[in-house]
C-alpha cells in the first residue's frame, strides 16, 4: 500500500493502516515543501513526523516532535539572542543534525532518510517526494513568506492572496518514488492539506500522469465547510477552491477514483463526479484510526 502524506491527518490514518498491513508492505511518499533550515540544520517536519510515527517516538499529542523531548538547546539559543522559528526539541534536533551532516557530505534527502529509517529500526519505506528543494511560499499583503513563517511565525493570521511552490518546476519524483509506484496499484491520499501537503507531491513532474494509472482513494480533510484542523480552508480559498469536500475533489482532479467523506458531512453526492464513500473519519483514538483504515483498505475492492 502506498500513501501520500503530510504531517498530521495522514499519519493518523497510517497509525491504523499499520494494524492491518505489516510495515514492510507500507510505503509513504511524504511532502517536503514545508522543510526549512533552523540553526543550520535541515528540518523536515512531515518526514520526521512519519519517521517518528513508525519508530514509536512521535509525540501523538502534538503530531510533531518526539514525546517527552526537552528543549535545553532551544532555550540556550534564546538566551544568547537566537530566536528559532520552530521550537526544536533536543532529541528531534539530533535527527536534523544527522540529516544535515549527511547532506553536507553530498547525500540526497532520500539517502539521508534511508539511513535515518534504518537506524530507527523502521521497516516501512518512508520516501521524501523529491530531492530538489521546493518551498511553499504564502503570498500575503505584506509580501511572500515561507509557510512556516506564515503558520508558526505569524500564527496563520495574515490574509492569504496566493500559495506558490518555488523550485517545483525543477523538481521530479525520485527514482525510489517512481519504483514504488511502478510496483503497487493502490494509492491512498490521506486526509492531508490538499494545498500545502498533497499539492506539492502532485505538482512534481509526471506525478499526475503516473497516478492517473493507479487506483487512487483520497480522504477528505474537510467536513462541511471547515477543515478538521489547520489552515487548509484559508489556503484552498486563496487558490480558488471551495472549502468543502467537492473542493477537495476538484483540487485532486482526474487522478481520483474515489473520495471518502465524513458521515457528518451533509453534502449531496450529486455534487461529485467520482465515487463517494462515507465513514466516521475523525481519528481521535488508535481504535478509530484502525477501524477507519480497515474501511479504506476494503474500498479498493470497489474501485473499478
What are the residues binding ligand GDP (CB under 6 A)? Answer: 5-10, 12, 46, 191-193, 197, 219, 221, 227-230, 232, 262, 281-283
Q: Which residue has the cell 477507519?
A: 292
Closer to ligand GDP by Cβ: residue 6 or 246: 6
Site for ligand FO1 in 243-262 (CB under 6 A): none
CB of 193 to ligand FO1, least distance (A): 7
Closer to ligand GDP by Cβ: residue 6 or 102: 6
Element at 19 (helix H, strand E): helix 9-20
Asked if 87 interacts with ligand FO1 (CB under 6 A), we say yes
CB of 174 to ligand GDP, least distance (A): 19
**C-alpha dihedral (56, 62, 63, 66), degrees to nearest 10:** -40
Q: Cβ contacts of residue 166 below 8 Å, gap of 6+?
A: 134, 135, 137
Q: Which residue has the cell 480533510?
A: 221
Closest by alpha carbon to 292, among 304, 278, 272? 278
Among 2, 3, 7, 180, indicate the residue that binds ligand FO1 (CB under 6 A).
7
Q: Which residue has the cell 490521506?
A: 190
Asked if 88 interacts with ligand FO1 (CB under 6 A), we say yes
Contact 279, 263 (CB under 8 A): yes
Among 86, 97, 202, 237, indicate the residue that binds ligand FO1 (CB under 6 A).
86
Asked if 92 interacts with ligand FO1 (CB under 6 A), we say yes
Closest by alpha carbon to 53, among 16, 104, 4, 106? 16
With CB under 5 to 8 Å by kind, the binding choice for 303 among ligand GDP, ligand FO1, none is none
CB of 28 to ligand FO1, least distance (A): 14
Q: Which x/- pattern over 117-156 shows residues binding ligand FO1 (rule: CB under 6 A)?
A: -------------------------------x---x----
Q: Cβ contacts of residue 211 below 8 Å, gap of 6+?
A: 181, 187, 202, 255
With CB under 5 to 8 Å by kind, the binding choice for 148 among ligand GDP, ligand FO1, none is ligand FO1
Q: Which x/- pattern over 16-55 shows residues binding ligand FO1 (rule: CB under 6 A)?
A: ------------------x--------x-xx-x-------
Closest by alpha carbon to 195, among 114, 152, 250? 250
With CB under 5 to 8 Å by kind, the binding choice for 176 among ligand GDP, ligand FO1, none is none
State how far the Cα of 91 lies from the Cα of 143, in Å rounded to an integer: 34
Q: Which residues of 232-245 are buried (b: 16+ CB within 10 A; e: fewer)?
A: bbbbbebeebbbbb
| Interacting residue ranges for ligand FO1, rule: CB under 6 A | 6-7, 34, 43, 45-46, 48, 64-65, 86-88, 92, 148, 152
Amino acid at each position: 500500500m502506498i500513501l501520500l502524506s503530510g504531517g498530521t491527518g495522514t499519519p493518523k490514518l497510517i497509525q491504523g493502516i499499520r494494524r492491518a498491513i505489516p510495515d514492510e508492505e507500507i510505503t509513504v511518499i511524504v511532502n517536503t515543501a514545508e522543510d526549512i533550515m533552523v540553526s543550520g540544520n535541515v528540518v523536515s517536519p512531515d518526514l520526521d513526523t512519519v519517521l517518528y510515527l513508525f519508530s514509536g517516538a512521535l509525540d501523538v499529542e502534538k503530531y510533531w516532535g518526539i514525546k517527552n523531548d526537552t528543549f535545553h538547546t532551544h532555550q540556550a539559543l534564546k538566551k544568547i539572542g537566537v530566536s528559532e522559528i520552530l521550537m526544536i526539541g533536543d532529541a528531534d534536533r539530533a535527527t536534523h543534525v544527522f540529516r544535515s551532516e549527511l547532506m553536507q557530505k553530498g547525500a540526497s534527502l532520500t539517502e539521508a532518510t534511508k539511513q535515518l529509517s534504518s537506524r530507527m529500526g523502521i521497516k516501512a519505506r518512508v520516501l521524501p517526494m523529491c530531492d530538489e528543494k521546493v518551498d511553499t511560499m504564502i503570498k500575503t499583503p505584506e509580501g511572500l513568506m515561507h509557510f512556516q513563517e506564515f503558520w508558526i511565525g505569524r500564527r496563520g493570521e495574515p490574509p492569504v492572496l496566493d500559495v506558490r511552490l518555488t523550485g517545483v518546476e525543477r523538481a521530479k519524483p525520485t527514482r525510489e518514488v517512481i519504483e514504488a509506484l511502478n510496483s503497487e496499484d493502490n494509492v491512498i491520499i490521506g486526509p492531508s492539506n490538499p494545498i500545502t501537503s498533497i499539492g506539492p507531491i502532485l505538482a512534481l513532474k509526471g506525478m499526475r500522469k503516473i497516478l492517473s494509472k493507479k487506483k487512487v482513494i483520497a480522504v477528505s480533510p474537510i467536513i462541511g465547510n471547515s477543515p478538521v484542523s489547520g489552515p487548509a480552508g484559508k489556503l484552498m480559498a486563496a487558490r480558488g477552491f471551495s472549502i468543502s469536500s467537492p473542493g477537495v475533489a476538484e483540487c485532486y482532479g482526474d487522478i481520483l477514483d474515489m473520495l471518502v467523506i465524513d458521515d457528518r458531512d451533509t453534502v449531496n453526492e450529486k455534487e461529485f463526479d467520482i465515487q463517494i464513500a462515507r465513514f466516521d473519519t475523525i481519528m481521535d483514538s488508535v481504535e478509530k484510526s484502525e477501524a477507519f483504515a480497515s474501511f479504506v483498505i476494503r474500498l479498493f475492492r470497489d474501485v473499478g
